[in-house]
Amino acid sequence: MQLVRAHITDYRSVEDSDIFDVEEDVTCLVGKNESGKTTLLQALFRVNPVESVSFDEVVDFPARKTRERKQLPAGKKIPVVRATFRLDDTEMKAIEEELGPKAMRSPEFEVVIGYRDNSKGFSFSYNEAAVVDHLRSTLDLPAAVTKAIGGAKTIVELLDALDGLEEPPSGATALADRIRGWRDGKLGCHLIDEYVSKAMPKFVYFADYDTMPGKVALPDLIRRRASGDITRGERALLSLLDMAGVSPEEFQDSDQHERLIRELENSGNVISDEVFEYWSQNTELEVRLEVLNPEPGALPPLNEGPILQVRVFNRRHRASVPFDDRSRGFVWFFSFLAYFNEVEAAGTTDLILLLDEPGLSLHGRAQEDLLRLIDERLAPKHQVLYTTRSPFMVDPDHLQRVRTVIDMERGGAKVSSEIFKADEDTAFPLLTAMGVEMTQTLFVGEHTLLLEGPSDLIYLDVLTDIAETNGSAGLDPRWVKTPIGGSGKLSTFVTLLGANKLNVAVLVDSSTKDVGAVQRLRDNDQLARNGIVEISEFTGTADADVEDLFDRDFYLELVNRAYASELAKPISASELNAKDPRVVRQIEAVFKKWKIATRFNHYRPAAVLLREQATLAPRIDAATIARADQLFTRLNSLLPKR
> Could you tell me if 467 and 614 lie in one domain?
yes
The answer to whether position 421 is within a domain reads: no
Q: Are residues 471 and 612 in the same domain?
A: yes
Q: What is the pLDDT of residue 496?
A: 57
Domain boundary among 318, 347, 376: 347
Burial of 68 (0-12, 13-18, 19+ CB in 10 A): exposed
Q: Which of residues 347, 372, 389 is at a domain's end?
A: 347
Whether 385 is covered by a domain: the verdict is no
Q: What is the pLDDT of residue 641?
A: 85
Of the three residues 187, 219, 237, the one that is the final residue of a domain is: 187
Q: Decide if 114 is inside a domain.
A: no
Sort strands 14-16 and 351-356 into parallel, antiparallel or unpaired: unpaired
**How far, in Å, CA of 209 to CA of 157, rounded?**
56
- Residue 336 inside a domain? The answer is yes
What total of structural domains would you count in the chain? 3
- The answer to whether residues 314 and 459 belong to one domain is no
Give the C-alpha separation, 468 to 625, whole Å: 11
Which pLDDT does position 437 carry in this prediction?
56
Give the Cα separation of 573 and 556 in Å (integer).
8
**Whether residue 603 is found in the same domain as residue 539:** yes
Shared-domain flag, residues 494 and 626: yes
Phi/psi at 112 (nearest 5 deg)?
A: -120, 130
pLDDT for res 442: 47
Which pLDDT belongs to residue 490? 64
Please tell me whether residues 322 and 288 are part of one structural domain: yes
Q: What is the mean pLDDT for each group of 10 consecutive residues in the chain (642 residues)?
A: 96 94 95 91 95 90 89 88 96 95 95 92 94 90 82 91 86 91 93 93 88 90 90 83 76 69 71 74 78 89 88 83 80 83 78 90 82 90 93 83 88 81 73 60 68 90 93 90 72 60 78 58 62 88 91 96 93 92 92 88 93 94 95 93 80
- DSSP letter string, 488-525: GGHHHHHHHHHHTT-EEEEEE-TT-TTHHHHHHHHHTT
> Is 369 part of any domain?
no
Question: How many Cβ atoms from other residues are within 10 Å of residue 192's Cβ?
Answer: 20
Residue-number span of the structural domain to which 179 is assigned? 128-187
User: Does 588 share its domain with 478?
Assistant: yes
Instruction: Please check whether residues 168 and 243 belong to one and the same domain.
Output: no
Q: Using a cut of 0.75, tell me whether the model's pTM lies above it.
A: no
